[in-house]
Amino acid sequence: MRSLLATLLGAALTLAAGSALADPAPIRATSPDGSVAVEVSLDGDGRVAYAVSRRGKAVLAPSHLGFLFTDAPKLDRHLAFAGEERRDFDESWEQPWGEWRTIRNHYRELKVRLRETTALARTFTVAFRIYDDGVGLRYEVPDQTNLHGANIAEELTEFAFAQDGKAWWKPAFLWNREEYLYEETALSALGTADTPVTIRLADGTHVALHEAALVDYSGMAVARSTGTTLRAVLTPGAGRAKVIKSGSWATPWRTLILADDAGGLYMSHLMLNLNEPNRLGDVSWFKPGKFVGVWWNMIKGDWTWARGPKHGATSANVRRYIDFAAANHIPNVLVEGWNIGWDGDWFGNGNAMDFARPTEDFDADALAAYAKAKGVRLIGHNETGGSASHYEAQFDKAFKFAADHGEMVVKTGYVTDAGQIERVDADGTASREWHEGQWMANHYLKVVQAAAKYHVAIDSHEPIKGTGLHRTWPNWVAREGSRGMEYNSWAGKNPPDHEAKLFYTRMLEGPMDFTPGVLSLTGQNGSAILSTEAKQLALYVVLYSPVVMAADTPENYARHMPAFQFIRDVPTDWEESRVLNGEVGHSVTIARKQRGGEDWFLGAIGDETARTTSFKLDFLTPGKRYVAEIYRDAPDADYRTEKRHAMVIEKKVVTGAEAMSLPIAPGGGLAIRFKAAR
């Protein structure tokens, strides 16, 4: 009834354009506990907007929706309500690996159907999933006479924040892709930003703006239009349209996580919940675990990927790493530069790369057998140099080679400037694509699917942003997608507050292959890393990935054995995770329970100033005694001096009834293992 009336009313409005007819009543829905509300309204021009509030206070003022097409009139005016659907959903599911085992997916769905009142009469639905900790919305567009697929020039989705605040964001569409330091500005001073954008509104509400389930669509950046209003800006494609769709189609979910504090953003499962369930079934062949590798010496410039006198991936070097891994119960060894193709200028050109042909000084068969005998696996590496089509042509032989050599994980790479991905179609047409464009969104998923057939997991570097697709494809185990440890080798190192920003921004996308654990605290030419030694340990708990590198060399670990013990002990798969305290850009304290075990691990990091972290131990099982193995900054520890190595390692018996208050030095951190007493 309501929808027919709304349609007629909408039509009347168009006919009476300019006259003062009342707008149709807005459509409203709330989250299960009523705290988050969405309201969809139409103005006198038939423009649709949605607004979001939390506990009765506006988060988003009415924000417009719509599309520009390259070959059809825009879709955003002369709309009328044409129906609505509501549904409640509450279900729990289990992650095969992750930061939490069990995830509850509890939302209320509202779908609002809109139809143009003009002769075109195009129709689409805006679907909202409203959670107690945020909202996801997407467009769902049926195949129809006047909208038969779409050539999308731009998406007009707005996010009109109702208050100003502080924003943490990375610039979008610049040459170095996702690898920029975070900007910290007023929301009203935001430029063009990659998502997630993390915002603390003036009233203290924390918001993360991102997207979920980015499939067959281009990645969404946001740009400030006026005041505190942001608008979607889609990543370009090689053609005129940024996105090309056929038949019926839908956008990814545009997501807002809403929380009282910074830690609340991290505790949300909204992004994962807005992805489709596991399509691979049993992935128990993938075992989360740590790795060492022939890597840091190349990042420091002491060894090379290319063949020659300093070639890193020699059989002799790799054997040493296998021995070191086996001796320290580290299950994987990454090897880069093992294959033919690195000798020329591979940056931006991977056409010489052969992903199944080792160099003559790397005896792949013998090393695979040697590793297997020692209970270790090699991790493969496929650097495409951005030549993505060249890689696609080799998928089968690349992943067969990996599987035949006992590799459970392959790290991929797309080292080329933004907008320089090399695409060559079947007919020979060559074009340049963006890492986060529609064609590459499809490419990254093709890699994951091709690898899954061989029981190989993927760790993508220079990736597309994480949007929770590891729920659907749980062999997509990690990605880079921000400035990792490698920047600590080079000039212009990551500043001491970098990881305290990453945690509340990049880490909301899911696992990051950050490669922590450089206990020598030195990069290229002995240059100092801006961190204490204790902080390197803390990063194993703070920055989650199911595959985590111990990035330093065996020789350096031999000089830091007491601290290395924590790296040996820390697991990479968790039953649950709890943020205990923290502020964006300043600090994090997080506790995680080992999956399939009784121990808890705690990591805390700060920024450039000294601080204390205080927390209750009420996450521990009541009545149980634990030995806390504490790795903390010494009183004189400081990332600016040689005292960056100063650390106190101590043991204490504790129970869940206690609390702790421990110091974090400038550039420092804290790592604790709570070992359940037998």
Which stretches of the chain bind ligand NOJ, using CB under 6 A? 295, 336, 383, 413, 415, 461, 480, 486
Q: How many residues does the chain have?
A: 678
Name the catalytic one among 486, 533, 575, 629.
486
CB of 460 closer than 8 Å to CB of 473:
no
When the beta carbons of 311 and 461 are compared against Ca ion, the nearer one is: 461
**The CA-based dihedral angle spanning residues 274, 279, 281, 285, taken in that order and rounded to the nearest 10 degrees:** -90
Using alpha carbons, select from 458, 441, 499 the residue that is nearest to residue 236. 441
The distance of closest approach from Cβ of residue 378 to ligand NOJ in the complex, given in angstroms and rounded to an integer, is 15
The distance of closest approach from Cβ of residue 222 to Ca ion in the complex, given in angstroms and rounded to an integer, is 23
When the beta carbons of 336 and 499 are compared against ligand NOJ, the nearer one is: 336
C-alpha 219/C-alpha 235 separation (Å) is: 6
Give how far Cα 540 sits from Cα of 273, 399, 530, 674, Å. Answer: 25, 29, 17, 15
When the beta carbons of 433 and 486 are compared against Ca ion, the nearer one is: 486
Other residues' Cβ atoms within 10 Å of the Cβ of residue 555? 11
642 is catalytic: no
Using alpha carbons, select from 505, 495, 481, 510 the residue that is nearest to residue 199. 505
C-alpha 238/C-alpha 245 separation (Å) is: 15
Among all chains, which residue has been given the structure tokens 């040493």?
320
The distance of closest approach from Cβ of residue 665 to ligand NOJ in the complex, given in angstroms and rounded to an integer, is 28
The distance of closest approach from Cβ of residue 303 to ligand NOJ in the complex, given in angstroms and rounded to an integer, is 11
What sign does the dihedral 615-618-621-626 (CA atoms) show? positive
CB of 45 closer than 8 Å to CB of 74:
no
When the beta carbons of 156 and 306 are compared against ligand NOJ, the nearer one is: 306
The distance of closest approach from Cβ of residue 610 to ligand NOJ in the complex, given in angstroms and rounded to an integer, is 32
Among all chains, which residue has been given the structure tokens 């954008």?
197
* Amino acid, single-letter form, for residue 237: G
C-alpha 138/C-alpha 276 separation (Å) is: 14
When the beta carbons of 122 and 461 are compared against Ca ion, the nearer one is: 461
When the beta carbons of 443 and 643 are compared against ligand NOJ, the nearer one is: 443
Binding site partner of 336, from Ca ion, ligand NOJ, none, Cβ cut-off 5-8 A by kind: ligand NOJ
Peptide linkage before 196 cis (omega within 30 of 0): yes
At residue 622, φ and ψ (nearest 5 deg) are: -60, 140
Kindly write out the interface string for residues 457-496 of this chain, putting x where it contacts Ca ion by CB under 5 A and - elsewhere: ----x-----------------------------------
Kindly write out the interface string for residues 294-333 of this chain, putting x where it contacts Ca ion by CB under 5 A and - elsewhere: ----------------------------------------
The distance of closest approach from Cβ of residue 295 to ligand NOJ in the complex, given in angstroms and rounded to an integer, is 6
When the beta carbons of 96 and 385 are compared against ligand NOJ, the nearer one is: 385
CB of 159 closer than 8 Å to CB of 63:
yes
C-alpha 296/C-alpha 550 separation (Å) is: 10
Q: How many residues bind Ca ion (CB under 5 A)?
A: 1
The distance of closest approach from Cβ of residue 480 to ligand NOJ in the complex, given in angstroms and rounded to an integer, is 5
Q: Which tokens hold the place of 668?
A: 């420092």
CB of 592 closer than 8 Å to CB of 574:
yes
CB of 83 closer than 8 Å to CB of 3:
yes
* Amino acid, single-letter form, for residue 491: A
C-alpha 49/C-alpha 60 separation (Å) is: 10
Binding site partner of 662, from ligand NOJ, Ca ion, none, Cβ cut-off 5-8 A by kind: none
The distance of closest approach from Cβ of residue 296 to ligand NOJ in the complex, given in angstroms and rounded to an integer, is 9
When the beta carbons of 224 and 311 are compared against ligand NOJ, the nearer one is: 311
Give how far Cα 88 sits from Cα of 29, 82, 85, Å. Answer: 11, 21, 11
Positions touching Ca ion (CB under 5 A) are 461
Catalytic residue positions? Answer: 486
